[in-house]
Chains A and B, each alone.
Chain A
Amino acid sequence: MSTIAALARDCVALSPETSIAAAAETLLDSACEPFLSLPVLEGNRPVGVLTRHAVQQVYLSRFGRDLYGRRTVADLMQRDPICVEADSTVEDASPQVTARIGFPIREDFIITRDGDYAGMGVVVDLLKAMDQRIARRNQELAGALHRLKESQAHLVQSEKMASLGQMVAGVAHELNTPLGYVRNNVEMLQGLVAGLRAVADETLDLVHLLGDADADPDHVAAQVMATRQRLDRDAPQLLLEDLGQLLEDTIYGCTQIGELVSSLKDFSRLDRAASEDVDINECVAGALLIARNVLKERVEVLRDLGDLPPIACVPSQINQVLLNLITNGAQAIDGRGRILVRTRHEGGHVSITVQDTGKGIPRDVLPRIFDPFFTTKPVGQGTGLGLAICYRIVQEHGGALRVASAPGRGTRFVVSLPVSRDLPATAANTALPAPEHRRMHA
């Protein structure tokens, strides 16, 4: 913490009784060069400053030297010097000094300790000190801004991770169900195959015996019995009857697993950042599949997908928008409800409507829902970034995101995207939207 004391310079002090001529001599001394004014003390108490300017005025006027030379400093001094206590900070002192200083600057300020003279302060020194402080402040602020940006990016990332986590949870469940019966079926079939092989071996032995003219009839009879027993024991008729069904289920399960995996891949589309010919209906299907985890139990989904031209967009981002809107819709529904997803081609635009039968958004809340971090959900359940990110993505695609809500009845979001346009150049890094005006109420 730097105080004014650090700025104190040694300086010759004058007494009020000093003659002006003597004071003028002193001012010419090179030791006094840095100063615009010299302190005038009574004992240790500052009573004024004698400015270089005042002395010059005297000496420049006609006969000034003869008229004033013998008079005392007390007659010419500025009687209300600027005094600053040595232990005040640069920040505190600076406004005190600047409030008093005239223009052009003609005096310096006196530094005091408990009212006693402790040195002179030069305005330029004060300015330099302030400058340093401001530079340091700026550095601190830049650092803070950087950290803030980082933690914001981190939050955006963790919002993405959270929805990814939820998605993975849902998909894991979706995958483990078919895996469960596929594996069980295959294990049972493995057992069955081992049994059938044993039966085949016994049967082969029997065939050999039957073909052997010298075979002992008792031996043949015993082998017939053994084969029969094998058949009963190791190839249970029941399982054989179910074989077709089990195989069918197994193939069905594998298809399901394959579909899930490929839609997961389509969904993130990391191998395809921006694309010219994206089928938005495919995005909708993918998002609904991925969102099945949030929807499954309670929410019925109605699809009304129109004929759409391919459009230029970043499909993974459009998927993120759709997933956010669908998730919000599902979360707004207490108990059972419906979500309608409609796509249309109108004019030069493709519109995607996500409409829910949820609790709606109160009129006073509506203007805030796109704000970053605005959420009405309990801590830990919503980051409030969902819609902010949606807004930003749609904006970067040159589109519009509109909302209309009827409290108690439901909410409708409409994403509208232009069919042809230049692809968003940096659409890949989604930052937060600036808080400008950006809502239209449909």
Chain B
Amino acid sequence: MNDPRQATVLFVDDEERILRTLNILFRPLCRVLVTTDPQEALRLVSEQRIDVVVSDQRMPQMLGAELLAGVRERSPDTVRILLTGYSDLDAAIDAVNDGGIWRYLSKPWTVDGIQKTVREAVAVALAQRTAALEARDAPAAPESRPDATCEILVIDSEPHSAAAVRGIVGGARPVHEATNLTQAVELLGKRPIGVVVTEAMVNGDDMTHLLHTLKQNYPDVVGIVVTAMRDTPRLIRLINQAQVFRYLPKPLRPGMLARSLEASIARHQEARRSVAAVPAALRVEEAASEAERTLSQRIGSYLARLRARPAATATG
């Protein structure tokens, strides 16, 4: 049942020619469904097992982010990808926060690029499904770990974010604060951090790299990025390379932060159970440049030295 050719990928776009070309491209690799109608897409997702959905953003009846949020509701294990012709920050934010997308792809795409992404998405979907089945067969395990071990790390050079998080979490779980990358890495090494709330840039360091490395080594760590920057390419990198879970504009709205934290903690706990099954290479896209890779490696080896957590040995 883990044969990718048995997997089903659904493409949704209001341009039939897009659907036709994608259908021909993917037909040899997996089972392909296509529709121009988002309602039809939602119906398909509710009725049958669909492993991956790839949706356009701008469609007459519904926006892609909305559709993917609907897919997530109906079938949380379906891996969601947005394929869009124009990068618009608000759409991307909605796609992350509501649609919970796994990748953000731009039109025009390359055959190699889209094939690789969809192939990986299928592998992730299959691995998640297997893990979910196993978890169901071994019912005792999930609650064995008390949820208090999910600690929160806030990385920001200014104190407001940490104060806001503390204001919400109260004494329920430890909240750690780092004002630079070194402190952050040290804390990650010492404490069982489950959720990282970080500014996009801290003291000139791009936190995408840290989140990317974390995701590779500790896939159960969930990332929330808080920032006042309106920078679409950065958000796209955060999605594709660091699997950011929430992207919150500053100034932070307490209600939104509270909901995001709650969802992140839940996501972390669920991830402990299932994500370990996904091979590390599939979780995030490779960081692009040489410089990014070395920074990634540096953070990674530092972390490895500091940290001897079970999750690390299990997956790393």
Contacts and interface: CB of A to CB of B under 8 A. Distances in A.
* A174, A177, A187, A296: most-surrounded residue (chain B CB, <10 A): A177
B58 A185 contact: no
B108 interface: yes
Contact of B20 (A172, A178, A239, A249): A249
Interface residues of B, number: 24
A412 B114 CA distance: 47
B28 A236 contact: yes
Contacts of B17: 178, 181, 249, 252-253
Interface in B6-48: 15, 17-18, 20-22, 24-25, 27-28
A428 to B, nearest CB: 31
Nearest to B62: A297
Interface in B70-127: 83, 85-86, 88, 106-111, 114
A176 B20 contact: no
B204 interface: no
A188 B111 CA distance: 8
Contact of B107 (A179, A185, A298): A179
Given A169-B86, A181-B15, A236-B28, A176 B21 contact: no
B24 A188 contact: yes
Contacts of A181: 15, 17-18, 20-21
Contacts of A180: 18, 83, 85, 107-109
Contacts of A173: 58, 85-86
A136 interface: no
Contacts of B107: 176-177, 179-180
B21 A184 contact: yes
Contacts of A271: none
A292 to B, nearest CB: 11
A245 interface: yes
A249 B21 contact: yes
B39 to A, nearest CB: 15
A249 B19 CA distance: 11
B310 interface: no
A309 to B, nearest CB: 37
Given A169-B86, A173-B86, A177-B85, A238 B108 contact: no
A249 B25 CA distance: 15
A184 B109 contact: yes
B60 interface: yes
A183 interface: yes
A182 to B, nearest CB: 8
B85 A296 contact: no
* B22, B86, B111: most-surrounded residue (chain A CB, <10 A): B86
Contact of A169 (B25, B60, B88, B110): B88
A212 interface: no
Contacts of B111: 184, 187-188, 191
8 contacts: A174-B85, A176-B106, A187-B111, A191-B111, A238-B24, A242-B20, A249-B17, A296-B58
The 4 closest A-B pairs by CB, nearest first: A176-B85, A180-B107, A173-B86, A179-B108
Interface of B: 15, 17-18, 20-22, 24-25, 27-28, 58-60, 83, 85-86, 88, 106-111, 114
Given A181-B15, A246-B21, A298-B60, 12 more contacts: A169-B88, A176-B85, A180-B83, A181-B18, A183-B108, A183-B109, A184-B22, A184-B108, A185-B21, A188-B21, A296-B58, A297-B60
